[in-house]
Homo-oligomer: A and B are copies of this chain.
Amino acid sequence: MTGPHTAPAATSPPAVVVLDVNETLSDMAPLAVRFAELGASPLLAATWFAALLRDGFALAAAGASAPFAQIGAEVLRTLLDGEDLDRGLDDAVDHVMSGFVELDVHPDVPDGLRALSAAGLRVVTLSNGSASVARRLLTRAGVAQHLEMMLSVEDAGVWKPAPGAYAHAAGRCGVDVADLMLVAVHPWDVDGAARAGLRTAWVNRTGSAYPAHFRRPDVEVASLGQLAERLRSRPPGRG
């Protein structure tokens, strides 16, 4: 209502951009190769990650929490048990879990982070995984310096999408939740953040449909670079 409509619509920038890490920054496609290297179907990678989150969210719904890597390894063990693998179960679990910590970022991430930083925005990460995995990922990509902090729900005591996880980020950033914008590829993260009072951006690299059971994002973009553009181009009269 502040000026003529332009596409893409301008969005006033938040105080802090809060980036999810797994799959939002990291490209998890190589994990499917790890499963194939074991002699298992590469399709198990998607089952594994969905089941990992399922168990972590179950604990969050029940008011409890466990480390991401611990749940990941346990779920993997259950999933691979009984598969016809080329090595023992312990080695197979290690092979996938070590692949997880060696992932690289999506191609749009380095320039996107530079653009967000160049726009003068504070940028942090908030992961259900450990801060060390995020640090390693972004250091390998040569862009760790654009992040003010790398936060983990391990310090919140509860996983996203429980509201306490987002409140933890707000507290560490010294701002209100309404001054944060959560950025994620996962609709469940967008939904939880929206319910917790944050603004939200959905990164949809694959042209997916957004599930009707979740609150819609304030902003939808195809890349982090596009997000930076949207947050840089302030509405007329507000810059």
Contact = CB atoms under 8 A, between A and B. Distances in A.
A50 interface: yes
A77 interface: yes
Interface string A187-202: 1100110011000000
Interface stretch (A55-63, A135-143, A220-228): A55-63
Contacts of A77: 209
A112 interface: no
A62 B57 CA distance: 10
A132 interface: no
A74 interface: yes
A192 B159 CA distance: 16
A161 interface: yes
Task: State how many copies of this chain the complex holds.
Answer: 2
Given A60-B61, A70-B212, A71-B213, A188 B55 contact: yes
A188 B62 CA distance: 9
Nearest to A166: B62
A62 B192 contact: yes
A213 B57 contact: no
A46 interface: yes
A9 interface: no
Contacts of A196: 62
A62 B212 contact: no
Contacts of A61: 57, 60-61, 158-159, 161-162, 192
A81 to B, nearest CB: 7
A64 to B, nearest CB: 6
Contacts of A59: 188, 191, 213-214
B81 A208 contact: yes
A211 B75 contact: yes
A58 B208 contact: no
Contacts of A78: 208-209, 211
A110 interface: no
